[in-house]
Structure 1
Amino acid sequence: MRLQGHQGGQPLHTAGEHHRDIAVYDTNELFGQKGRFRVLQFSGDAVQGAVDLDDPARIVLEYPRAIVHLMELNRPAFETAFMIGLGVGTIARHFAGKRMIVAELDGRVVDLCRTHFGLDFDFDDAADRVIVGDGRAVLAEQRAHSFDYVIVDAFTEQGTPRRLLSAAFFALAREKLHPRGMVVLNLIGRGHRDPLIGAAFATLRGAFAHAGAWALAADGASGRSGVHNVLLAGSDRPIDFRPRQMAGFQPFVPAQGHVIADRDDEA
């Protein structure tokens, strides 16, 4: 997810259900970039993904470019990944030759990705598929030590669900990862001043031997009161990155925080 940054647009689809609006539209400007873009947007101000209609293979938004860099650098020959949150299928499409399993809570998003964003997963292939359902529950059903990466890019109107940031969730992710695997999360927050980011980072550090944090600086076009994308990563091996390949994300030290536990209403 990234905060709103378009100017006008031609709607292709709008729908509201379960207290969440979904829109697909074409626009000639996105986060200050000129061109022809197709955008998936939730709840009026949260861009979930975008495709460059003139160059569909190009990764438009910064956070998936940074996630792809972390994945390619830390395990260049990786084979498997589990993703929570489909967006417009950017990362899944980029790694089309890998074994990718994606859990998406909202079936409408899957349908829109197929009809408007060219997602061409073999939905009947047990090794490479999109599953409509709760991401944590779907992950729990997978075999232990079967993934090189677990990627979390899931949002509600309240942000990333706490049950995807808790100690229990990170323990589950660790169980499903290969010993040299990594979990990567795309969050929204205020960097080193954000208490939730600090708590999520503290919880991640409690589950893995190594953890990293990077923030994308907010600007007038895409930021809102200092709110911006934050990436967190955890692994039992050192996490490598190349600053010039992080699409503008800069490393930072999150605020100290408490360990997040599952809430009774989210268990």
Structure 2
Amino acid sequence: MRTPPGPTPVAGGTAELLADADRDGAWMLLVDGTPQSHVDLDDPAHLEFEYVRRMGHVLDLAAEPGAALDVVHLGGGALTLPRYVATTRPGSRQRVVEIDEPLTGLVRDFLPLPRHARVRVRAADAREALGTMRTASADVVVTDVFAGARTPAHLTTAEFAAEVARVLRPGGVAVANVADGPPLRFARGQVATLRTAFRHVCLLAEPGTLRGRRFGNLVAVASDAELPLADLSRACARDPMPSRVVDGGDLDRFTGNARPVPDAEAQPSPEPPDGVFTR
């Protein structure tokens, strides 16, 4: 096994690569002690983090199995999902926006992408880069951006959701990592915000997180077309840590009286409690 570099200065702080003792060829990327990505070089289709696996289900159901997609990834980390799409949907064209250029350099040097992966990485702010993309140019937009352990405020608003909707083709899908804990005020606001730009929205969440028992990652899914709710439910139920699909009336009740978040009122996602990322 290759010896990883030691703690490496990156724009977001200090990055470290740790070998996964349970999987040969697998690595964990941490930035300032916060787990950012897990990559299995021997099996890029393996998704270790539960919320990333749920995002993988959305990508699996975005088109017929194996069909190539145009995917925009806002937030790159160790490029886990671009590797997954390149492996499960050969020929897909993928654009990654990752503001931390030194981090991308570390990942490219030590965790190379699969051969023939059509992945282009751009060092830029996610929202600024999205604003330069052509209308109706993507099948899927994935948002998984963190500054430290929090999603930046300008990526949580109705104006941002409208930009995501603009870049998507008709029938395209937006999928976003929403990190929150009790009382889930941020997540409720994110659902209300997505509903300003998309006709159909659902949440994928582990029941304990959904009931406000613990801090965790909820996955928001949105589209102007009907979502494959039954297939998503079956996929999420088969996971090692099963999750629920919340939609329709259940999502109405979850959202309650939460209001959409405009730019003028934007706040970053909540700070995770101490110890939440201890492995």
Residue 48 (structure 1) shift: 1.1
> Counterpart of 1:6?
none
Q: Write out per-residue CA displacement over residues 141-196 of structure 1, whole angstroms, 9 at most, x where no aligned residue.
A: 111101111100101135111211101001111111101111100121127x3101
Task: Quote the Cα distance in structure 2 between the aligned partners of 1:131 and 1:182.
Answer: 21
> Counterpart of 1:3?
none
Q: Which has the higher strand share?
A: 1
Q: Does 1:75 find its partner at 2:63?
A: yes
Residue 250 (structure 1) shift: 1.5
Q: Does 1:48 find its partner at 2:36?
A: yes
Identity of aligned residues (%): 27
Q: Does 1:210 find its partner at 2:200?
A: yes
> Counterpart of 2:223?
235
SS class of match (1:12): coil
SS class of match (1:206): coil
Task: Quote the Cα distance in structure 2 between the aligned partners of 1:197 and 1:53.
Answer: 33
Structure 1 residue runs without a partner (length 5+): 1-9, 29-33
- TM-score relative to the length of structure 2: 0.78
Query: Is contact 1:121-1:130 (8 Å) kept?
Result: no
Task: Name the Cα RMSD after superposition.
Answer: 2.7
Task: Quote the Cα distance in structure 1 between the aligned partners of 2:265 and 2:186.
Answer: 18
> Counterpart of 1:143?
134
SS class of match (2:196): helix
- Selected match of 2:184 from 186, 194, 204: 194
> Counterpart of 2:154?
163
> Counterpart of 1:5?
none
1:20 to 1:199, Cα distance in 2 relative to 1, 3 A: same
> Counterpart of 2:244?
250
Amino acid at match of 2:13: R
Q: Does 1:108 find its partner at 2:140?
A: no
Q: Does 1:133 find its partner at 2:124?
A: yes
> Counterpart of 2:52?
64
Query: Is contact 1:121-1:128 (8 Å) kept?
Result: no
SS class of match (2:61): helix
1:85 to 1:161, Cα distance in 2 relative to 1, 3 A: same
- Selected match of 2:28 from 32, 36, 39: 39
Query: Is contact 2:11-2:101 (8 Å) kept?
Result: no
SS class of match (1:13): coil
Residue 80 (structure 1) shift: 0.6
Q: Which has the higher helix share?
A: 2
Task: Quote the Cα distance in structure 2 between the aligned partners of 1:70 and 1:19.
Answer: 28
Task: Quote the Cα distance in structure 2 between the aligned partners of 1:19 and 1:114.
Answer: 17
Query: Is contact 2:75-2:96 (8 Å) kept?
Result: yes
- TM-score relative to the length of structure 1: 0.81
> Counterpart of 1:23?
16
Task: Quote the Cα distance in structure 2 between the aligned partners of 1:12 and 1:65.
Answer: 27
Residue 245 (structure 1) shift: 1.6
Task: Quote the Cα distance in structure 1 between the aligned partners of 2:27 and 2:35.
Answer: 11
Q: Write out per-residue CA displacement over residues 19-75 of structure 1, whole angstroms, 9 at most, x where no aligned residue.
A: 6332112241xxxxx33431101221x211112355444222222222121122132
Task: Quote the Cα distance in structure 1 between the aligned partners of 2:244 and 2:266.
Answer: 35
Q: How does 1:89-108 map to 2 (within 5 A)?
A: 89-96=79-86, 97-108=91-102
Q: Which moved more, 1:208-217 or 1:140-149?
A: 208-217
Task: Quote the Cα distance in structure 1 between the aligned partners of 2:195 and 2:138.
Answer: 20
Task: Quote the Cα distance in structure 1 between the aligned partners of 2:69 and 2:266.
Answer: 35
1:260 to 1:158, Cα distance in 2 relative to 1, 3 A: farther
Amino acid at match of 2:147: T
Task: Quote the Cα distance in structure 2 between the aligned partners of 1:218 and 1:21.
Answer: 31
Amino acid at match of 2:40: D
Query: Is contact 1:74-1:239 (8 Å) kept?
Result: no
Number of aligned residue pairs: give it: 243
1:27 to 1:69, Cα distance in 2 relative to 1, 3 A: closer
SS class of match (1:171): helix
